[in-house]
Structure 1
Amino acid sequence: MLTRDWVVPGYTELHRLGAGGFGEVVLARHEASGAFAAIKYLFGQHLGDPERLAAFRREAEMLSRVRSPHIARLHEFHEGPHGAAIVMEAIHGVSLREVLGRDGVLAPESALAVLKGSLLGLADAHRAGVVHRDYKPANVLVGPGRESKLVDFGVATLAGRAGLPVGTPPYMAPEQWRGAPASPATDVYAATCVFFQAITGRQPYVGTTTGELQDLHEHAPVPAHAAPAPVRGLITRGMAKDSGQRPSTAAEFVAELEAAAVAGYGPDWEQRGLGRLAQRAGALLALSPLALLGAGTAAAPGAASGLAAAGTGMGLGAKIGAALVAVAVGAGAVAGTVAVLGHTDTPPPVVAAPAVEQQTAMQVSLETRREAATGPAFHVDAQYVHVSGMRDQALQDRINAQLVKPLDDFTGYVRAGLADPTEDPAITGRAEFHRRTDRVLSVRYDLMAASSQFGNHGGYTTLWLDVDLRTGEPITPGDVFAGIADSQAAMSALESRILRMTPGGYCDGSPPLGERVPLAPRDLRPWGVLGTPALQLGFREDAVVFGVSTEARGYPMACGYQEVVVAYSDVADLMTPLGRELLS
């Protein structure tokens, strides 16, 4: 996999995500913590090129200025005689470009939700004095929690700084083409162009040459008429030819967006939009590198940014580049490999800083059980989660017994159900750990038996396991949400919040076979393979995952298992005191 002789110390590379004229991006694991990171390497042949090395430093310097939940975070910048690398937050997400490539257009509410998230990220960058200058669909990631994040600050600059034209032609503001000083309004223009594309299915201007595109962006009327009426005013404002007639900051544009969205699509526009966006991105997320590696918590910015080569090529889809002025981030060349710049925090550990001393050294890892068939048996090649390093060995053993139990139980289920053991089926499984704090570990298991001896749904199951790390006991839905184990009213109140995220029901808009059956306390009792209930809970950093067996809801068998993601803030008032403590 490696195309270099040098790797950032302390990381194990897992997957190459992409490459361009400047370098490549890889997905890596931080060896000390087990956390994932995206590492962007400058190709070795550019280490002797002062301009390209300065541009690479500049990207890290821009990232170091910005702290935002809506922007991929810088962990470290390394430079030495053997190489240069930017270590970034790894994000579990797919690019908006991929979503649009699959679906063509987004519902207005979803397009508005993406625009709002991006504008919030741009606003944080603008407050730090940074202008992105290359906002485009490839640089917006949509995550499993419905959030969007902005990546790739490869051509970012300080506000007010002029230079040669830099950017991606279909989204460049008129002043960008002229090399005028960059301003927050420059990013507002690009974000509006992308919003127009998301809501109409086409870029605002289409030209056969770069010169033709420049002329259209500088002189052609804003094509707001092609968009739905409620958002035409936003497009007209955001794409004004004169930067002084646009919102002066991304934060100002967010306020205008909120007003237009509520007026046009109702007060719940954002929840509906985010829910539909998550459904659109779900299948793509399942194929992302981290999902395929079983990590499930992050995907790398480079997967979406594509590392388009600055300064190479002038194709209409390519980035226009120019020699960048060096930004001083250190005195002269760096001897050896060191971390420099603003916030040199290493990637977050697999578990948060523990609240009790016994968990100080706790590590969480993925293990794989592999058993070859011996006689009339079956193959096993399945993952499970394991903790280590805890000072309380008895507690650690209880936790690990819970964590391996789904795989043990499924293996026993398959063994007991084989009518013909000579068929030699294979058991496979994938484990993903999602929320990892000092109190909670939330794991999703997907287990499958490759055998015709199990019916349509008898050969696989999806199971969420949430473990209290202070007691070693499983956390049940009734522990988290008040009354749902014995009160229909409490369960109905919870289901109303879930259905806000999936207004079409539990099967992507497909109706049930007859009247929809509401969730009830009985749905928390053993039901499916391994006795998994019809309603399961999983936990992410800022959201609850509700896993629903749709057959129990009256839907066709083909609908299968569905997940609905709901932000904690949307259900916090329904939680028990213990639930709020566990997830705080």
Structure 2
Amino acid sequence: MELSDEWRLPGFTELEQLGTGTFGRVVLARQDNTGHVVAIKYLFSRFAAEPAYLDAFRQEALALHRVTSPHVVKLYEFFETPQGAAIVMEAINGVSLRSVLQAEGALEPEAALTVLKGSLLGLAAAHSANVVHRDYKPANVLVADTGESKLVDFGTAVLAGERGPSVGTPAYMAPEQWSGGQATPATDVYAATCVFFQCVTGHRPYEAEQTEVLRTLHEHAPIPFGEVPQPVHEIVALGMAKDPSKRPVDALVFVSELERVARAAYGDEWERKGWSRLAKAAGVLAAATPLVLLSAGTAAAPGVVAAGTGAAAASTGGIAVGLKITAGVIAATAAVVGSVVVFSDASTPPPSPPTTQQAVALKVAMKTESGTVPGTTLAYTGERPEVTGSADQAWLKRVNDALTAPIDAWNRKTGPGAAKLEPERGPYTLTTKADIRTENERYLSVRYTHDLTNKPHSTWGNGRAAVTIDLKEGKALTPAELFAPGKFTDEGLRELTEILWPDKEQCGPPSTIFPYRPLQAADLTGDPKVWLAFAPTALEVTANMTDLGFTTACSVQDHTLPYDKVRGLLNPALVNGVTSGKVVKGTSSAPPAQGVTDVSAGALTLHLPQDWSVVSQGLEKVLVGPGCPDPKKYFNCKYVLLTDNTQRSAEQPPYRPGEFYRRSAGGRACNAAGRKDLRQEGDAARTASATAPVGGATATYEEWTIQCVPRGQTGGSGETSVTQRIWFLADRQIVVMDEWRTPGVEELLRTATIS
């Protein structure tokens, strides 16, 4: 039976055709039972009967499903029926970058940098999910009327490391892509840089009528960075390097380089200026389309035709449609990507027509609030997550009250004391930062960091909290509900203590003043001193060591424990819920070799031989090399620092890619040069930049030479210098730093395990 290309999904009313290509078409449509507007990408029916084309269409849906980012168009649903195949996705109120360039010619550098950063963040999300786009070009970047940019059309995407035919758009294809070489994130970096070149010059970097000539130019011609404004020469030269190993290893690393260059060239306001100019250009184009008549101001992207099948449409932002990946068509059955959380009645099989789908869509958004702490004149500003989208107002109130409770408790506890501090040191403001650790259809786990501006001491007001919400029940889980039956006891907490501090050094060696103190169940209740947050790959434990009875110098400690290390202690349903039932391991399933010590930071675990030792230094793990006479006083010994870059404090700010490693607000001492009296605050120069293997993944590798100067001096040359070696796993935010040329480091990193 011949299938008609006029087939339409039931339950949707087609509003406008947005583009057509060789393999399909894209339309703007309204869901009949909700009124929401979406973009639907149809595979032409004549190809739906051919396995190769249908499989490619499925793979595009899977690629979109894997990638979660506000800078990537959202996938809502994939349909495969006897009539044909279709992808239902987000609609964006804006236009393609191609349309902007056609109307504007060249963009001002700030605007070009801004649109590049937004779409690079979309690529970074893809790269972190092990997906390489392979067809980054102006037609596949949408610019919203707000100035935000989103990446679309994953029709040629593959998993990183795969080889395949030479596909893509010739004007933007990297040298290795022409020969069907291995797909890597650096391939996307090259294409993004070509598009950036076009944005600032008004033309592509290489132009030729014949494809083979274009291939020769991309493979062998000099990089034309001299045609772009001088401040961004470095961006083009770096991103268009012929050798992929000479480019930033992925989009996230490239974003760091971009921000550094942009700030230096155009000031701290570069992005705001760029957004302003982009929004104006996109808004004028969008307003000229015939689709402004749609409800809520929705409009379509004019003239958007992506290679092959067309691009996603434009419409106003967040759609809260209860859509999901159709079971049985794609193996993935997780909830819709992005901030939409899908619920359905598990007792009733989901009906296939979308018109009768009874799902409740929830949206989690971060809100920033400012005001004063009740009962005081003290200012407060902070973030809090808010859940919306349910018709059950009582349910919503329970959930949002639970999400706000840690903030209210902190303000009540700290506000009165902060309000009485010496006014001359002020003004003071209590602050809260909320960090969502898990968000899926069943659980929402949030970690809070509280602080006080202008505080009299670094340890004052350094607060933490965490809450995990069972969204099915609509309530916060109690501490007892976080643990396996019978484990929320002092004995169970003792087991957790031994995992957290196997050497019993909770804050230096145990002493008569500060003896070893096993955690107790009471430490998690009432006025908690210990909190648990649940990330998709690991349990995150935060302990306020001062409240536990240790010196104020011990402050707050954050620990990350892969679930295989604590699985027997935790509520199994909860662990399965946050890991999607996967057995997440931080170490090899084989037992460690005799004499080997495992030390973890985030997702990375290093297996230290017997002659190495570990010392905790705030948020860092110090790996002391062999031969140190007193590993506890390691400053004159060879050592390596291991850091989870997501953990930070006022005294230990995060590592910033593209800069040397500080990880200390007061600067680092020049121990490796034998000068503890000097600080690493002089001139710094990067002397090497490459990639290196870490636990089967690829890390960026840099070497920096840093001048050692007296305390208080910033910049300039010093009496001596140190050389830092830095390995950075950008997608997992893990940093390893060595200043001693410590023997055996490369082997430690090569044999590491990544969860």
Q: Give 1:41-52 correspondences, 5 Å limit.
A: 41-52=42-53
| Deviation for aligned residue 1:30 | 1.3
Contact 2:291 2:300 in 1 (8 A): yes
Q: Give 1:402-481 correspondences, 5 Å limit.
A: none
Q: Distance in 1 between matches of 2:242 and 2:101?
A: 26
Cα-to-partner distance string for 1:293-335 (whole Å, 9 max, x where unaligned): 344246469945364589xxxxxxxxxxxxxxxxx9359xxx9
Residue 281 of structure 2 aligns to a residue whose secondary structure is: helix
Residue of structure 1 in register with 2:160 after alignment: 159
Q: Distance in 1 between matches of 2:271 and 2:97?
A: 17
One-letter identity of the residue aligned with 1:237: L
| Deviation for aligned residue 1:358 | 12
| Deviation for aligned residue 1:287 | 2.5
| Deviation for aligned residue 1:9 | 2.4
Q: Is structure 2 residue 57 aligned with structure 1 residue 56?
A: yes
Q: Give 1:221-370 correspondences, 5 Å limit.
A: 221-288=222-289, 290-297=291-298, 299=300, 303=304, 305=306, 307=308, 329=330, 352-354=389-391, 356=393
Q: Distance in 1 between matches of 2:25 and 2:192?
A: 26
| Deviation for aligned residue 1:145 | 1.2
Q: Distance in 1 between matches of 2:78 and 2:230?
A: 46
Residue 226 of structure 2 aligns to a residue whose secondary structure is: helix
| Deviation for aligned residue 1:77 | 0.3
Q: Give the number of the structure whose residues are more often helix, by fraction.
A: 1
One-letter identity of the residue aligned with 2:70: P
Q: Distance in 2 between matches of 1:185 and 1:95?
A: 23
Identity %: 56
Residue of structure 2 in register with 1:119 after alignment: 120
Contact 2:99 2:303 in 1 (8 A): no
Structure having greater relative contact order (Cα 8 Å, sep ≥ 6):
1
Contact 1:59 1:154 in 2 (8 A): yes
Residue of structure 2 in register with 1:535 after alignment: none
Residue 242 of structure 2 aligns to a residue whose secondary structure is: coil
One-letter identity of the residue aligned with 1:214: R
- The 1:53–1:4 alpha-carbon spacing in structure 2 relative to 1, beyond 3 Å, is same
| Deviation for aligned residue 1:196 | 0.2
Residue of structure 2 in register with 1:205 after alignment: 206
Tell me the C-alpha RMSD between the 2 structures.
Answer: 3.2
Q: Distance in 2 between matches of 1:39 and 1:49?
A: 20
Q: Distance in 2 between matches of 1:292 and 1:196?
A: 36
- The 1:10–1:174 alpha-carbon spacing in structure 2 relative to 1, beyond 3 Å, is same
- The TM-score with structure 1 as length reference comes to 0.54
Residue of structure 2 in register with 1:34 after alignment: 35
Contact 1:76 1:345 in 2 (8 A): no
Q: Distance in 1 between matches of 2:69 and 2:125?
A: 6
Q: Distance in 1 between matches of 2:277 and 2:354?
A: 44
Q: Distance in 2 between matches of 1:59 and 1:181?
A: 19
One-letter identity of the residue aligned with 2:91: A
Q: Distance in 2 between matches of 1:306 and 1:174?
A: 20
Residue of structure 1 in register with 2:9 after alignment: 8
Contact 2:201 2:227 in 1 (8 A): yes
Contact 1:119 1:250 in 2 (8 A): yes
One-letter identity of the residue aligned with 1:187: D
One-letter identity of the residue aligned with 2:210: T
Larger Rg: 2
Contact 1:112 1:273 in 2 (8 A): yes
Residue of structure 2 in register with 1:77 after alignment: 78
Contact 1:26 1:38 in 2 (8 A): yes
Contact 1:92 1:300 in 2 (8 A): yes
Residue 105 of structure 1 aligns to a residue whose secondary structure is: coil
| Deviation for aligned residue 1:5 | 4.7
Q: Distance in 2 between matches of 1:205 and 1:151?
A: 24
Contact 2:95 2:301 in 1 (8 A): no
- The 1:309–1:293 alpha-carbon spacing in structure 2 relative to 1, beyond 3 Å, is closer
| Deviation for aligned residue 1:22 | 0.6
Contact 1:80 1:336 in 2 (8 A): no
Q: Distance in 2 between matches of 1:234 and 1:300?
A: 29
Q: Distance in 2 between matches of 1:55 and 1:347?
A: 30
Q: Distance in 2 between matches of 1:347 and 1:27?
A: 23
- The 1:347–1:303 alpha-carbon spacing in structure 2 relative to 1, beyond 3 Å, is farther
Residue of structure 1 in register with 2:175 after alignment: 174
Q: Give 1:83-102 correspondences, 5 Å limit.
A: 83-102=84-103
**Number of equivalences:** 335
Q: Distance in 2 between matches of 1:344 and 1:354?
A: 8
Contact 1:237 1:245 in 2 (8 A): yes
Q: Give 1:520-535 correspondences, 5 Å limit.
A: none
Residue of structure 1 in register with 2:601 after alignment: none
| Deviation for aligned residue 1:90 | 0.7
Q: Distance in 1 between matches of 2:354 and 2:395?
A: 32
- The 1:136–1:159 alpha-carbon spacing in structure 2 relative to 1, beyond 3 Å, is same
Q: Distance in 2 between matches of 1:53 and 1:302?
A: 26
Contact 1:97 1:137 in 2 (8 A): yes
Residue 207 of structure 2 aligns to a residue whose secondary structure is: coil
One-letter identity of the residue aligned with 1:84: A
Residue of structure 1 in register with 2:136 after alignment: 135
Residue 106 of structure 2 aligns to a residue whose secondary structure is: coil
- The 1:358–1:32 alpha-carbon spacing in structure 2 relative to 1, beyond 3 Å, is farther
Q: Distance in 2 between matches of 1:167 and 1:337?
A: 35
Contact 2:223 2:241 in 1 (8 A): yes
Contact 1:91 1:301 in 2 (8 A): no
Q: Distance in 1 between matches of 2:302 and 2:362?
A: 17
- The 1:306–1:182 alpha-carbon spacing in structure 2 relative to 1, beyond 3 Å, is closer
Residue 85 of structure 1 aligns to a residue whose secondary structure is: strand
